[in-house]
Each structure stands twice: as structure tokens, then as C-alpha cells.
Amino acid sequence: GENVEQHPSTLSVQEGDSAVIKCTYSDSASNYFPWYKQELGKRPQLIIDIRSNVGEKKDQRIAVTLNKTAKHFSLHITETQPEDSAVYFCAASIGTGNQFYFGTGTSLTVIP
């Protein structure tokens, strides 16, 4: 089955700096890669996603890049703010089965 790895597990940045979280996946059949933000005790919220036919997608301060050949994708958050502090999960979905396999999570702390 699919194996998704995520790094780093924890990340601290100064407010205004950028944060980058990286994920790799194992199954080349994966074709959908969402990123979720989860605050303590709450449900994950989709923040951005990318399909395998696209190399990059941007939404305001958040961007995701995908390298299909290398089987890795990254989340980029620019101009970080304290409210960006949360746990971020990447995920990969294979074909029409559509179950998500999540990465191990990155706890992001933005220091004011």
C-alpha cells in the first residue's frame, strides 16, 4: 500500500518568515495530494490540494509543489502568522479508491 512520509515533525519559525513542509509518497499511482491543517482537538481542515497533472498551485500565502518523478510534494507558507500555528498533514490518494493515506504530521509554531 501507499506510504507517505513527512518532514520535519516539528518546525518553529519567526513571524513573517516562510515555512516549508515536505512529503514523499511511494505509490506512483497516487494522483491527488491534499494538505490539511489541524488545530488541537479539532477536525482537519483542507487548506490546499494538488492533482498529479499540475506541478504547482498557489492560494494567497500558501503554495504546494509536486514532483511526480521524484514522488514528493511540498507545502510552502509565506509571511507566516501566529494563527498559522497548528499541525499540518499531507496526504496521498490513489486512483478511484480515494482513501487518504496521511503523513505523520508537522507541528508548526510561529513565534510572534
Angle (CA) 102 17 105, round 5°:
15
Q: How far apart are CA 108 and CA 74, in angstroms?
A: 14
Candidates 42, 69, 70, 83; binder of another protein (CB under 8 A) is 42
* Residue 104 binding another protein, by CB under 8 A: yes
Residue 6 or 80 having the CB closest to another protein? 6
- 36: exposed, middle or buried (Cβ count in 10 Å: 0-12, 13-18, 19+): buried
By CB under 8 A, which span of 22-30, 42-50, 66-74, 78-86 interacts with another protein? 42-50
Closest contact distance (angstroms) between CB of 67 and another protein is 19
User: Which of 2, 78, 60 is closest to 33 using CA atoms?
Assistant: 2
Applying CB under 8 A, the residues found at the interface with another protein are 1, 6, 32, 34, 41-46, 49, 51, 89, 93, 96-105, 107
